[in-house]
């Protein structure tokens, strides 16, 4: 019973604030965790990337040493323009880093190397902001000030756990590094998850959790890498992924939504001259002015480019 939201403005706007407003309106669909991915809010040169890294250890001294090790690994491979604490707790610290002088392939290699360090996890990396954590939307906003993040488009999620443990890593959105900057949020279940995962792993995809949603983002990324358009990839997913689902996908230039063939999970879209919005409930769209709202039919997909 998760809640999903997506937004794309024609131009750079207050994407973070809008997503938080939408997500608060369907908070009843899940309070286990919440998260957003926001695009187009940070100006970056072609060789610049954002990265969020968690270092986990109840021993503060060991945590500090791991931070020094992480900084050393990064600086051996690129420039570390900033490395600041985003959030800290009794057992962990999350860092927000800005890197330069590398490309996407080198970024992927760096992510793999950092993830191989004990008690270090790269939460996301790319040219967009991804913030997710356990707890309701209000906690996400209070802890990370998501509503202050500008952007052209983004996706959001409130989770009611059904398929895997409740923690920061299994919260939505999920990212794939097969192609740059692709994320997904999902409501429902993928019943052929293990079969889909095995096929993707044979093609070199690296999964980091046992959450069934993760296979969706890898599936779509795989199609995009093979030359499919986003529209075509979503259409293929409706035929090849089983189970009750509705999901929203975001890339640097587009946003899309897909609904299972039996129509077992809700999804609707709204649009006017300024915005294209997607949600799992109409209440999330009621604060937009002059919005034409449509419910997706079973098996229907939509994509939008700002």
What is the residue-level pLDDT of the chain in tens, covering all 306 positions?
799 999 999 888 899 999 999 999 999 988 999 999 999 999 999 999 999 999 999 999 999 999 999 999 999 999 999 999 999 999 999 999 999 999 999 999 999 999 999 999 999 999 999 999 999 999 999 999 999 999 999 999 999 877 668 889 999 999 999 999 999 999 999 999 999 999 999 999 999 999 999 999 999 999 999 999 999 999 999 999 999 999 999 999 999 999 999 999 999 999 999 999 999 999 999 999 899 999 999 999 999 997
**2 carries an active-site annotation:** yes
Domain boundaries, the chain: 3-42+129-305, 49-126
Q: For domain 3-42+129-305, which CATH number applies: 3.20.20.140, 3.30.1280.10, 3.60.20.10, 3.30.390.50?
A: 3.60.20.10
CA nearest neighbour of 6 among 31, 32, 28, 37: 37
Q: Please pick, among 1, 2, 34, 252, the residue that the annotation labels catalytic.
A: 2
User: Which burial class, exposed, middle or buried, applies to 155 when counting CB atoms under 10 A from its CB (0-12, 13-18, 19+)?
Assistant: buried
pLDDT at 258: 98
80: left (phi over 0), alpha (psi -120 to 50) or beta: beta
Q: Are strands 33-39 and 129-134 parallel, antiparallel or unpaired?
A: antiparallel
Any idea which architecture 49-126 has in CATH? 2-Layer Sandwich (3.30)
Q: 124-165: per-residue pLDDT in tens?
A: 999 999 999 999 999 999 999 999 999 999 999 999 877 668
Question: How much of the chain, in percent, has pLDDT values that exceed 70?
Answer: 99
């Amino acid at each position: 019973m998760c809640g999903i939201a997506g937004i794309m403005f024609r131009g750079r706007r207050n994407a973070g604030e809008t997503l938080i407003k939408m997500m608060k309106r369907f908070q009843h669909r899940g309070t286990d965790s919440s998260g957003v991915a926001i695009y187009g809010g940070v100006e970056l040169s072609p060789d610049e990337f954002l990265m969020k890294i968690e270092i986990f250890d109840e021993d503060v001294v060991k945590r500090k040493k791991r931070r020094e090790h992480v900084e050393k690994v990064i600086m051996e491979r690129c420039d570390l323009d900033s490395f600041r604490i985003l959030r800290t707790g009794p057992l962990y610290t999350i860092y927000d880093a800005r890197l330069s002088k590398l490309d996407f392939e080198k970024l992927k290699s760096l992510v793999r190397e950092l993830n191989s360090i004990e008690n270090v996890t790269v939460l996301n990396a790319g040219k967009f902001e991804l913030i997710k954590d356990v707890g309701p939307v209000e906690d996400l906003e209070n802890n990370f000030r998501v509503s202050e993040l500008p952007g052209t488009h983004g996706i959001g999620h409130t989770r009611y756990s059904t398929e895997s443990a409740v923690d920061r890593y299994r919260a939505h959105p999920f990212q794939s590094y097969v192609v740059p900057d692709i994320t997904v949020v999902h409501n429902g279940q993928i019943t052929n998850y293990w079969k889909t995962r095995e096929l993707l792993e044979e093609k070199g995809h690296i999964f980091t959790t046992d959450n069934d949603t993760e296979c969706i983002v890898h599936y779509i990324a795989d199609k995009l890498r093979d030359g499919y358009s986003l529209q075509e990839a979503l259409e293929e997913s409706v035929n090849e992924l089983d189970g009750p689902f509705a999901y929203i996908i975001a890339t640097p230039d587009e946003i899309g939504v897909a609904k299972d063939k039996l129509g077992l999970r809700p999804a609707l879209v709204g649009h006017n001259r300024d915005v294209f919005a997607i949600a799992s409930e109409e209440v999330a769209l009621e604060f937009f002015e002059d919005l034409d709202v449509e419910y997706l039919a079973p098996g229907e997909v939509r994509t939008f480019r700002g």
